[in-house]
Amino acid sequence: MHIRALRKQDIPAALKILKENYPHTPLYVRRARHELGAMFEPGVVIPHYIVAIESKKLIGFAGICPSWMDYGFSTLFWVNVDPRFQGAGIGTKMIKLLMRQAKKHKMKYILLTTTRPAFYRHLGFRTLMPTSKTYKLMIGTV
Ligand SMILES: CC(C)(COP(=O)(O)OP(=O)(O)OC[C@H]1O[C@@H](n2cnc3c(N)ncnc32)[C@H](O)[C@@H]1OP(=O)(O)O)[C@@H](O)C(=O)NCCC(=O)NCCS
C-alpha cells in the first residue's frame, strides 16, 4: 500500500467508496464530487486530498484544507477507507501523513467533526463538544 496525492481521474473510484460507506446519504456523494474536484480548480484556499493505493486500486482517501479562521488551523474531512480494507491501519496512516504535511505547512491545529471519535482519539485528537446527536467536534495538535 502506498499513499499519494489525489489525481483528477481518481475521483470516480473515491466516490464509489463513499457510496459504499454512506449508502443512505446520496447528498454526500454529490457534495464530495464538487469538493474533491476543488483540488483541481483555481481558488485562494485549495483543499488537498491524498489517496491510499493497493495493487493499483484506490482503497482510501482523505482531505485537508487550511482555514481562514486562523492561519494555524486546518480542517480535516472526507476520511474514508474501502469497507474491505477497514481495520488494517490505512485510515491511521493517511491521517498521520496529513498531520505531518500540515506541520510542514506551519499548521498548529486540526479541527474535524466525526461519528467515530474513538478512531481519532487514538490519533491524539480530543473532543470539544457534540455538534449533533451523532457528530462530535474534535481538535488535534500537529
Ligand atoms: C473510520 C475509518 C476512516 C478508519 O479507518 P481504518 O483504516 O478502518 O482504521 P485503522 O485500521 O487505521 O484503525 C486504527 C485504530 O482505530 C480503531 N478504529 C477504527 N475505526 C474505529 C471506530 N469506528 N471506532 C473505534 N475505533 C476504531 C481500530 O480498532 C484501530 O485501533 P488499534 O490501532 O488499537 O487496533 C474507516 O473505518 C472508514 O472509512 N469508516 C467509514 C467512513 C467513516 O466513518 N469515516 C470517518 C468519518 S469522519
User: pLDDT digits over 107-125, tens only?
Assistant: 999 999 999 999 999 999 9
Distance 87 CA to ligand 1 centre (A): 6
User: pLDDT digits over 26-58, tens only?
Assistant: 999 999 999 999 999 999 999 999 999 999 999
Distance 121 CA to ligand 1 centre (A): 10
Give me the pLDDT at residue 136, please.
Answer: 98
Give me the pLDDT at residue 125, please.
Answer: 98
CATH class assigned to 2-141: alpha beta
Distance 95 CA to ligand 1 centre (A): 11
In a mutational test of the pocket of ligand 1, which residue from 116, 122, 136 has the highest number of ligand atoms less than 8 Å from its CB?
Answer: 116
Predicted TM-score (pTM) of the model is 0.94
Give me the pLDDT at residue 74, please.
Answer: 98
Is residue 130 within 8 Å of residue 136, measured between CB atoms?
Answer: yes
Q: Which residues line ligand 1 (CB under 6 A)?
A: 21, 79-81, 86-92, 114-116, 118-119, 122
Give me the pLDDT at residue 29, please.
Answer: 96
- CA distances 137 to 120, 121, 129, 130, Å, are 11, 12, 5, 6
Give me the pLDDT at residue 103, please.
Answer: 97
* Shortest-distance Cα residue to atom 43 of ligand 1: 80
Give me the pLDDT at residue 5, please.
Answer: 98
User: How is the chain split into domains, by residue range?
Assistant: 2-141
